[in-house]
Each structure stands twice: as structure tokens, then as C-alpha cells.
Amino acid sequence: MTTVPTGDARSGIQVLARAAEILRLLHGHQAGLSQAEIGEQLGLARSTASRLLLALEAEGLVMSMGPRGRYRLGPEISRLASSARRNAWADWHPMLVEFSYAIGETVDLSILEGDRALFVDQVVADNRLQAVSGVGKSFPLHACANGKALLASLPEAERRRLLSGRLERFTDRTITSTAALRREIEQVRQDGIATDREEMTEGVCAIGTSLGESGGERLAVSVPIPTQRFAEREGELRSALLEFAERFRA
């Protein structure tokens, strides 16, 4: 049997839809918008916009600077987003565990966070000699395998923007030439595999690949490995990473 919404129910749905429109609008205007601008852009009466904004502000979903200030997204949005991200990472964790066990190496999951690669999950392999980065740490994109994989997954305009500044040197092997890095990123785009040959930390290499986008995040998986083991395992890990990426996207 189909339930037909009552007038009150339809009204409630409409209120929720309008509140969602306000949040989406403010998401695209980080400098904020006035109540009048919000009402004008969404076609809302002044009284309707006022009621909705007051309700959203009471819940911490929007905030304003003073009675006539511009409205911005509130702190509760960040908390909800963080919770949603953690739930998504928890869903992906079993796949990382399985992959780490299959290859016998530590596996890192990273997301693009501004101009850096942020480590959000890690499965540490049971090796006496390990290369462990740590969840919560972030590295500049140009000097790590996961960062290069993320760069290669971006549209050209965004990639150029992120590579417009000076490339910091961390070791003698760090690529600091923008032209050289762009050539390498183009190769990553063709091969699907990015490497870090002691470019971030001496004695540590890594290999990684992009996982595309999932849950609103741009993802990469990487395998950090002591330099002593890297050369003999690189070919094997390349194939394993590409296979993992296919299964992840499926």
C-alpha cells in the first residue's frame, strides 16, 4: 500500500529541502552570504529565509557574525562530515587488511587534503624491518608515492595549480623541478603507478596508485617499504596494486 504524505508531512519535506538548498549554497560561498543574498538566490521570501537560518543556526549548521552578518557553514557541519569520513574509512579497512596480508607489507590509505596527502588508515605488516608513516600525518604531494598518485588523478587545471609553487627538498633525491615532476606525473597517468625512491625519507621507498573517488574523497593506496627490499619487490607490488585498485573500484 502506498502512503500519501499529509499536508504537514509535505510541508516538512519542503522545509528540509529548502534548508538543504541553503547549506549547499553556503558550501559554494566560503566568504559567506547575507540573508538577503540567500533569499534572492534561492527565491525565498525574507520571512522564510529568516526562519530557516535561525533554525539552522540554533543547530550549529550555519553561523553568522552579528545580527546582520554574513552567514557561513557552522561547526556542526565539520563534525558531521568528519564522522561520515571515519565511517567510510572503517568500511574500507577490511580490504586493506586483506591486501596487506596478501603482499606481506604495510599498506597506507591516503586522501587529498588541500595540497597534501593525508594518511587516514594503515595496516602494519609483521616485518622486523618496517617503514611506518602513521595515521594522521600528511606529506607534500610531490615527494611521496601516494601524493604523486593523487596528483595524477586530478584534472589538468587543478594539477597545475597545486604545482605552481616551489617544490621543497627533503632528501638528495627529492624532485624539485616542476618540469621534471610534471613529466613523471604524466608517466604515472599512463602507467597507473607512482613511486617514491627515497624522495621523502632516506632509507624508505614507496609505491602507490590512485583509487579514484569514493565517499566524496579522492583516494590513493601506497606501500611503504625499506629501500633494501624495494628493488626486488617493485615489479610484484606494481601488479598487486593495480589489481587491488580494480577490485576497490568494482
pTM: 0.68
**6 pLDDT more than 60:** no
Give the sign of the dihedral formed by CA 15, CA 19, CA 20, CA 25. positive
Tell which wins on pLDDT, 187 or 79: 187
Q: Is residue 147 part of a domain?
A: yes
What is the CATH number for 36? Answer: 1.10.10.10
Domain final residue, candidates 15, 38, 73: 73
In order, the DSSP letters of 33-70 are: B-HHHHHHHHT--HHHHHHHHHHHHHTTSEEESSTTPP
- Contact, 222 vs 206, CB < 8 A? yes
| pLDDT tier at 143, thresholds 50, 70, 90 | very high
Same domain, 127 and 189: yes
Indicate whether 125 and 182 sit together in one domain: yes
- The three cell numbers of residue 156 are 589538468
Identify the top-confidence range among 2-11, 16-25, 195-204.
195-204
Both 128 and 186 in a single domain?
yes
Phi, psi (deg, nearest 5) at residue 162: -70, -20
**Is 102 part of any domain?**
yes
pLDDT given for residue 2 in this prediction: 46
CA torsion through residues 166, 200, 110, 137, sign: negative
| Residue numbers of the domain that contains 177 | 82-249
Residue 1, in any domain of the structure: no
User: Do both 47 and 139 map to the same domain?
Assistant: no
Q: 23 with 119, same domain? A: no
The answer to whether residues 100 and 34 belong to one domain is no
Strand 138-140 versus strand 116-123 pairing type: antiparallel
- Whether 60 shows a pLDDT value over 70: the answer reads yes
From CA 40, how far away is CA 80, in angstroms rounded?
A: 28
Same domain, 92 and 193: yes
Long-range contacts of 75-84 (CB under 8 A, 24+ apart): 77/23, 84/215
Q: How many domains does the chain have?
A: 2
Residues 110 and 211 in one domain: yes
Same domain, residue pair 63 and 145: no
- Of 73, 99, 120, the one marking the end of a domain is 73
Which residue type does 221 have?
V
Choice between 131 and 4, residue whose per-residue pLDDT is larger = 131
73-84 per-position pLDDT tens digit:
888 776 766 655
The answer to whether residues 50 and 165 belong to one domain is no
One domain for residues 43 and 155: no
Answer with the one of 56, 73, 90 that is the final residue of a domain.
73
Q: Is residue 211 part of a domain?
A: yes
Q: What CATH number is attached to the domain comprising 140?
A: 3.30.450.40
